[in-house]
Amino acid sequence: MNATVPELPKPVADLSPGGVADRGRSEPVTCVRCGYDLSALPPLWAESCPTRGVCSECGLEFEWSELLAPVTPPPEWFAERAGSRFPPGPMMSLRTWWHALTPGRFWSAIGLRHRVDLNAMFGFTMISVLMLYAAAMAWVLFRGVQLGWFGGGRRPPSGWQWLALTGWPWRMSTSVYFWLAPLAACIAPMVFLVLGTTLSKSKAKLVHVLRAGVYGLLGVATIMLGFRLARVAILSVDRRRNIGVPTDPWEFLVVCGFKTSWAMLAAFVWLGWCWWHAITRYLRLPEPRLVHGAVMIIAFLGAMAVAQYWGWPRSGWEWYRVDLVSLFFW
């Protein structure tokens, strides 16, 4: 009596020549970066199945399992998951924001294979703008308390003046140094339009570059808001005095702790860290050191140019005459 052996189910990522060929004919195998059709390669595997490959169009090195296995959904905390809405829910936004503050972990979990959700990205852009607005309003309200606007002291602003303050609080509460890092975060993805050779060589899609820029701006806005709130808290406890060179840690915090200049420096360092991981782990561009250096240098110079010739042309600010000691320590 012949025993019938039941047929075992095929594995999720069938890397056998026959299985891959069948899959290639039914579902196109495309590069995760440029979208080039690589379906003609798996049927050519006669004796062995390579584990790694290179896209003939953009040069991306990839694992074949990344292309042949079913698409792995994004992490549960990621707001751009399929079915996300505008704006993203509060918990989803909070979890995505929290992970985005650690770029190494964030860009290791998010891949080019994950669908870009423009609604969620627009929502996080608005969240970044709101955080910059909150940073400015926090200083306006703090100065109002100092001037006695709310306690019967100095005459408070009129209705139209309050409307102007709440509509555009940055005029009273920010300096050129507040805007350098956010401007650089906005300019960084635009640099790839200048680096046309890099984009044409790697075939990277602009929507992926834009995604990196959105989460870069989110982190920068978080740093600017955090430093501003910390500065307001310190000056609320101990008002700044002209005490000369700080002699202990508390005096240092009162005189220059969490100043806008320190926030600018911290935001620039974090932005460089974010873009390094976005270039190496997410976009996986060729010559990452050169690309990263070009992006950060051009973004920094572009931010200074905008601040110098557009934002504050009449303020007398000239970056090449800035006293760094006074900027950070006084």
pLDDT score, position 19: 44
141: left (phi over 0), alpha (psi -120 to 50) or beta: alpha
Query: Is residue 80 helix, strand or coil?
Result: coil
Q: Domain check: are 165 and 280 in the same one?
A: yes
Q: Domain check: are 127 and 172 in the same one?
A: yes
Q: Domain check: are 49 and 117 in the same one?
A: no
Q: Domain check: are 245 and 119 in the same one?
A: yes
Say if CB 35 and CB 116 are below 8 A apart: no
In a domain, 62, yes or no: yes
Write phi, then psi, for 251 (nearest 5 degrees).
Answer: -60, -35
- Per-residue confidence in pLDDT tens, the chain, 330 aa: 445 544 444 444 444 444 444 444 456 777 666 666 666 566 666 566 666 667 766 666 666 666 666 567 788 889 887 555 555 667 788 999 999 999 999 999 998 888 888 888 898 999 999 999 999 888 888 877 766 666 656 666 666 777 777 777 777 777 788 889 999 999 999 988 777 666 556 567 888 999 999 999 999 999 999 999 998 888 888 776 555 666 777 777 777 777 888 899 999 999 999 999 999 999 888 888 988 999 999 999 999 888 777 655 445 556 556 656 666 666
Write phi, then psi, for 192 (nearest 5 degrees).
Answer: -65, -20
What are the CB-based long-range contacts (under 8 Å, 24+) for 188-191?
A: 188/212, 188/213, 188/216, 188/271, 188/275, 188/295, 188/296, 188/299, 189/213, 189/216, 191/294, 191/295, 191/298, 191/299, 191/302
**Containing structural domain, residue 53:** 17-68
Q: Domain check: are 234 and 275 in the same one?
A: yes
Length of the chain: 330
Q: Domain check: are 185 and 302 in the same one?
A: yes
pLDDT score, position 177: 84
Predicted structure pTM score = 0.76
CA 240 to chain centre: 34
Letter for the amino acid at 157? P
Q: Domain check: are 185 and 323 in the same one?
A: yes
pLDDT score, position 10: 41
The full DSSP string for 12-63 is SS--SHHHHHHHHHHS--B-TTT--B-TTSGGG-SS---SEEE-TTT--EEE
| Closest among 56, 55, 72, 73 to 64, alpha carbons compared | 55
Number of domains in the chain: 2
